[in-house]
């Protein structure tokens, strides 16, 4: 290749440096095809961390920064007739096509696969099965040959619905991105899907921390992240009763955290002043034998009424607490009650440090019902004494 191309190539490839520095969590590798006559040779740059890189072409060379590795790559490129250098990151690739005359840059999506979607709702999916095939396969929603599993269609539709209902909450994210904590994450399906949505669909940077008391699900979540190459996720085995993070979460999510683990998640979010909270509560046992309302005795003497009222009061108290703490709250039906009766979604966005009127109503509510609910306990700093 003409040596005069060297400056042009260096200029175009230098854009990879900032991409790498700012978006390392999404970096996969730089793959190059070098062409000489009819023969093709492959070279690649991979990275364990931002300061541990390897350039592999005939031999392996180690580098401490990408700029130096690219310099070596450019020296090799100009020895060939033409080359395609691809910066691969999660979900997309930037190709630089180089020959004697031109250095052209183009972007393409990765992972486009034809998928059988006959069993799905007749609509345009946000987590599109064609584009999101690697994610859906890793989560077990999709078979290796690209079909959504019959027994996972419901779950898939639920996660899609979750994104549909919450996407407007992420409209205002700036360049810094978002920091999401999934409390009682289980196998972290929701985090994986939200992570995919934020980066691949919205192109918003995000960090995820999944917390769960079970070592087993934390290990499984780590394996899934590794399989997908999602470097922006960490999973920590932790008891929400005593967990404190050394960073401020701006978004807290919690889906079906058992019983009062939902209150622990809300408490963690409230204590840290999280900007967004998305919570789908699970079973509610705690108030069942505690709340007192003598004038309702003729109704709640029937077990089923007592249980149903308990569900409403538990979630109602949670929402009243959030409003007292300055959140604007909306409660919606998350999915069909036939899918799961635990289908209430609480969406909360922080608007102020507190709302006096809402606080008065909340205090009055607790007095009337004669309860000290878990959401109150876990919202207090230093709650470990409880
Ligand atoms: C029904 S699963 C839901 C998992 C996941 N969010 C989902 O929707 O697939 C409830 C999870 O809460 C976790 N959990 C219960 N108590 C907890 C606590 N005190 N601290 C952390 N995790 C807890 C359990 O280990 C379990 O993984």
Ligand 1 atom closest to the Cα of residue 189 is 9
Ligand 1 atom closest to the Cα of residue 182 is 6
Which domains occur in the chain, in start order? 5-109 (no CATH), 133-385 (3.40.50.150)
The residue nearest atom 1 of ligand 1, judged by CA position, is: 256
Q: What distance in angstroms lies between residue 54's CA and the mean position of ligand 1's atoms?
A: 40
**Ligand 1 pocket test: which of 162, 213, 260 has the largest number of ligand atoms within 8 Å of its C-beta?**
213
Distance from first CA to last CA of the chain, Å, rounded?
73
The residue nearest atom 14 of ligand 1, judged by CA position, is: 184
Q: How many percent of the chain have pLDDT more than 90?
A: 68
163 and 127 in contact (C-beta within 8 Å)? yes
Q: What distance in angstroms lies between residue 236's CA and the mean position of ligand 1's atoms?
A: 12
Looking at residue 118, its pLDDT comes to 42
Q: What distance in angstroms lies between residue 254's CA and the mean position of ligand 1's atoms?
A: 9
Q: pTM of the entire structure? A: 0.82
Looking at residue 382, its pLDDT comes to 55
Which is it for strands 276-280 and 52-57: parallel, antiparallel or unpaired? unpaired
**Residue 381: pLDDT band by 50, 70, 90 thresholds?**
low
The residue nearest atom 15 of ligand 1, judged by CA position, is: 258
141 and 154 in contact (C-beta within 8 Å)? no
- Average predicted confidence (pLDDT) for the chain: 90
Give per-residue pLDDT as tens, 205-242.
999 999 999 999 999 999 999 999 999 999 999 999 99
Looking at residue 385, its pLDDT comes to 41
| Average pLDDT over every residue of 264-280 | 96
For 171, residues 6+ apart whose C-beta sits below 8 A from its C-beta are none
């Amino acid at each position: 290749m003409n040596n005069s191309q060297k400056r042009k190539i260096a200029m175009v490839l230098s854009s990879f440096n900032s991409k790498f520095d700012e978006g390392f969590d999404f970096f996969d590798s730089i793959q190059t095809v070098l062409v000489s006559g009819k023969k093709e040779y492959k070279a690649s740059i991979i990275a364990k961390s931002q300061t541990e890189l390897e350039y592999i072409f005939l031999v392996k060379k180690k580098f401490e920064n990408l700029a130096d590795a690219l310099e070596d790559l450019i020296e090799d490129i100009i020895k060939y007739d033409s080359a395609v250098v691809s910066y691969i990151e999660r979900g997309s690739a930037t190709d630089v096509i180089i020959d004697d005359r031109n250095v052209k840059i183009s972007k393409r999506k990765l992972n486009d696969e034809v998928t059988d979607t006959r069993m799905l709702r007749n609509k345009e999916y946000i987590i599109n099965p064609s584009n999101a095939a690697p994610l859906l396969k890793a989560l077990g929603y999709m078979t290796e040959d690209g079909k959504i599993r019959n027994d996972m269609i419901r779950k898939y539709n639920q996660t899609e619905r979750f994104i549909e209902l919450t996407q407007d909450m992420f409209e205002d994210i700036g360049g810094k991105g978002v920091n999401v904590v999934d409390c009682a994450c289980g196998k972290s399906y929701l985090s994986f899907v939200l992570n995919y949505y934020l980066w691949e669909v919205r192109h918003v940077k995000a960090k995820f921390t999944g917390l769960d008391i079970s070592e087993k699900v934390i290990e499984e979540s780590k394996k899934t992240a590794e399989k997908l190459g999602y470097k922006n996720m960490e999973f920590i085995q932790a008891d929400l009763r005593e967990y404190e993070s050394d960073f401020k979460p701006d978004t807290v999510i919690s889906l079906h955290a058992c019983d009062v683990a939902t209150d622990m998640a809300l408490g963690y979010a409230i204590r840290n002043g999280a900007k967004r909270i998305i919570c789908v509560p699970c079973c509610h046992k705690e108030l069942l034998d505690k709340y007192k309302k003598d004038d309702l005795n003729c109704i709640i003497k029937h077990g089923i009424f007592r249980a149903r009222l308990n569900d409403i009061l538990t979630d109602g108290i949670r929402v009243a607490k959030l409003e007292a703490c300055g959140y604007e709250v909306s409660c919606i039906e998350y999915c069909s009650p036939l899918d799961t009766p635990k289908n209430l979604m609480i969406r909360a966005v922080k608007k102020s440090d507190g709302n006096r009127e809402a606080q008065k109503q909340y205090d009055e509510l607790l007095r009337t019902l004669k309860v000290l609910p878990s959401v109150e306990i876990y919202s207090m700093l230093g709650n470990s004494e409880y």
